[in-house]
Amino acid sequence: MEETFGPIVGVTTYQSLNEAIELANAPGFGLSSSIYTTDPKDAFTFRDKIGAGMVSINNSTSGAEAHLPFGGNGKSGNGSRQSGIWVLDQFTRWQAMNWDYSGRLQKAQMDIVELTPDTTFRI
């Protein structure tokens, strides 16, 4: 079975919300899902039982939320959940480099006094 990537409307009949969710989960693809309802209990039941990576309540399934982890479940999507600005930390190796090519040993920024060592001091 191949996933069709595009706008598709499946129309069928069902007897209960649980049966509708079973029908929606049956193919094994779970990129995005949506339910239109005025009953909060049905909305949360749908959210808990649907096998989709994105769930919309009283809204369409088009468009990803760029600030949230995005991807499908089951045989759908690309298998990853990377998204949002913080994903940079997952794929970036941060590194700072300081290159002084003056040929002199540099002092720390707070070292402003020249000290002369007492080489004769013994403990």
Count of domains for the chain? 1
For position 115, what pLDDT does the model report? 75
Full domain range(s) for residue 33: 1-115
| Structural domain contains residue 121 | no
| Structural domain contains residue 122 | no
Give, in order, the Cα–Cα distances in Å from 40 to each of 31, 34, 62, 82, 89: 22, 14, 22, 30, 37
Triad 103, 107, 113: Cα angle to 5°: 125
Half-sphere exposure of 78 (CA within 13 A, CB side): 6
In order along its 123 residues, the chain shows pLDDT tens digits of 676 777 777 788 999 999 999 999 998 887 788 889 999 999 999 999 998 888 889 987 766 665 666 666 676 665 565 666 666 666 777 777 777 777 777 766 666 677 788 889 888
For position 47, what pLDDT does the model report? 93
For position 40, what pLDDT does the model report? 92
| Structural domain contains residue 123 | no
Token output for 105: 């040993």
| Structural domain contains residue 6 | yes
